[in-house]
Amino acid sequence: MGPLLRLSIFLSRLVRNPPPRRVALVMLTALVLAVGLVVVERTIGWPEALRADKVPMRRLGS
């Protein structure tokens, strides 16, 4: 099942059976935070101190 189909099924369930106000506010807050993070990352960039660098794996016994 593709992501757009899954999203449309999820949204249709929300329309038919709306969640309580508190759950809707939590979902909306999470969406706003995610979109805000993407906007900040795209416009300003990401600070060097918060970058996750890949650490090389050390092999034991070699």
Count Cβ atoms below 10 Å from residue 11 Cβ, excluding itself: 10
Backbone angles phi, psi at 5, to 5 degrees: -65, -40
Concatenate the DSSP letters of all residues of 4-49 into one string.
HHHHHHHHHHHHHSPPPHHHHHHHHHHHHHHHHHHHHHHHT---GG
**Domain positions in the chain:** 20-44
Q: What is the pLDDT of residue 52?
A: 78
Q: What is the pLDDT of residue 61?
A: 66
Lookup: tokens for 20: 């309580």
* Block mean pLDDT (10 aa), the chain, length 62: 92 93 95 93 81 78 61
